[in-house]
Amino acid sequence: MSESLTITASAIDPGLLDLPWSTPLGQWPSSTIVSLPKGLSRHLVRFANLSGRVVAVKETTEAMATREYEMLGNLQRLDVPCVERVAVIAGRTAKDGTTLPAALVTAHLRFSMPYRALFTGVLKPDTANRLVDALAVLMVRLHNVGFYWGDVSLSNTLFRRDAGAFAAYLVDAETGELHETGLTEGQRLYDLDLARTNIAGEIFDLEAGGRLEESTDAIAIADRLVSSYHSLWHELTDQETFPLTESWRITERVARLNELGFDIDEMSIQTTNDGTTVVIQPKVVDAGHHARRLLRLTGLDVEENQAQRLLNDLDEFRARSARVSSDEEMAAHEWLTRVFEPVVKAIPFELRAKLEPAEVFHQVLEHRWYMSQARSASVPLAEALSSYISTVLRHRRDEATIMGPPTETTTLQMITADTVAEDTDDDEEAGDWRDLV
């Protein structure tokens, strides 16, 4: 390791010193590299083991690495979905004295997938539509905090399953700009037009490779991103005028935004000079309404759609238990310990990296619904769980960290503590899950 090597990080991981920084990234040994699928990139990107977790290492210039490192930190502080920054490595020198590029290190987002890994065989229109809908939400969230991306594409995004939909995360912030005063309409629309062009190109690329279902229209998919973006942006920002006698519309507007997964922290409310008309306009809108409520009630930190699905089940549990009028937090704790945790802990150890717990729970509920429909009768949750494990989950690929071809470093260290039981007493501690109804 070169004496001139410098590491910039908010929290230094000693394992960074053990990585072969004096070797060009393309020549790193298989004992260090983890084989994972990744999106297209203008830079060389490799995945590596770092202290029992997986990180992405990207070679670039020191200035660009530092800029992107700082940008990711700003986006994290603004609570925007993006990858977590780890470090900037500069001053790299090969053993023969050759100067090597600087490197940006980011944490691999567990249970996430590049868009090409989300389908096997060919991309179906429904999957493509759900991907661009998720990307539209991400763009709205970014633009809402004043971030201009400048290189929006499916390849620069990671996706996590979110209760039948997807949640999108920004991966590459290299071209991004953060404007404290917000974006102009021109900046937003230009970013959106770039996104439409890039996505159409990516879909056409799939078509050229025979990985697109024949009925899929690449232009229609790209256009869907634009329409989804405009629809959500207008819902979040449009000014609304109504008679003073219809003040209930304020509550209706808030409820509509909550249903979309957003909270209004501040709203501008004005009356006209004659006092007969009210004008309202959201001023500060924050995403994650359902996720924050579920976190407050149960401590579960999940995606927005997953949170909404789990909250619906919690509400149904309260209704079935005649606890509608009881303390919400007490009912939530009871639901967590009697329903959610027993389902999660019933998943066999070797299957726990297939999907994250909240997604498993959602899919179990979906599986139960289909079984009940087929029988025209209610199916106990325990029976649905057993059926789901044996007929669905067991046949899925792992998504904790989606693997490419195996390497000599592909070991159980890829499964981190939050995907496995901490001890052998889990089942006993949770009670017998077969009692679930």
pLDDT of residue 265: 78
For residue 45, CA distances in Å to 27, 66, 95, 176, 324 come to 12, 16, 21, 19, 52
Strand stretches in 171-274, DSSP E: 177-178, 240-243, 262-271
Which residues, 6 or more positions from 86, have their beta carbon under 8 angstroms from its beta carbon? Answer: 9, 13, 16, 50, 55, 105, 106, 107
Whether 385 contacts 343, CB under 8 Å: yes
What is the bridge-based pairing of β-strands 85-90 and 102-107? Answer: antiparallel
pLDDT of residue 40: 61
Q: With CA atoms as reference, report the closest residue to 360 among 402, 339, 388, 397.
A: 388
Q: Cα 73 to the chain's mean position, in Å?
A: 17
**How is residue 84 annotated by DSSP?**
P
Q: Is-above-0.85 flag for pTM?
A: no
For residue 267, CA distances in Å to 96, 184, 279, 292, 315 come to 62, 20, 10, 20, 29
What are the structural domains, with CATH classification, of the chain?
A: 6-108 (3.30.200), 113-237 (1.10.510.10), 240-287 (no CATH), 329-435 (no CATH)
Secondary-structure percent of the chain, ordered helix, strand, coil, rounded to 5:
45, 20, 35
pLDDT of residue 323: 59
Tens of pLDDT along the chain (437 residues) come to 445 889 999 888 899 999 999 999 999 998 898 876 565 667 889 999 998 889 999 999 999 999 999 999 999 999 999 999 999 999 999 988 899 999 999 999 888 888 887 766 678 888 889 999 999 999 999 999 999 999 999 989 999 988 888 999 999 999 999 998 899 999 999 999 999 999 999 999 888 888 888 888 899 999 999 999 999 999 998 888 888 888 888 888 888 888 888 888 788 888 877 777 888 778 778 888 889 999 999 999 999 999 999 999 998 888 887 655 567 888 899 999 999 999 999 999 889 888 889 999 999 999 999 999 999 998 999 999 999 999 999 888 766 554 433 333 333 333 333 333 333 333 333 333 333 44
pLDDT of residue 37: 58
pLDDT of residue 105: 96
Residue 8 phi, psi dihedral angles, 5° rounding: -110, 120
Q: Cα 250 to the chain's mean position, in Å?
A: 31
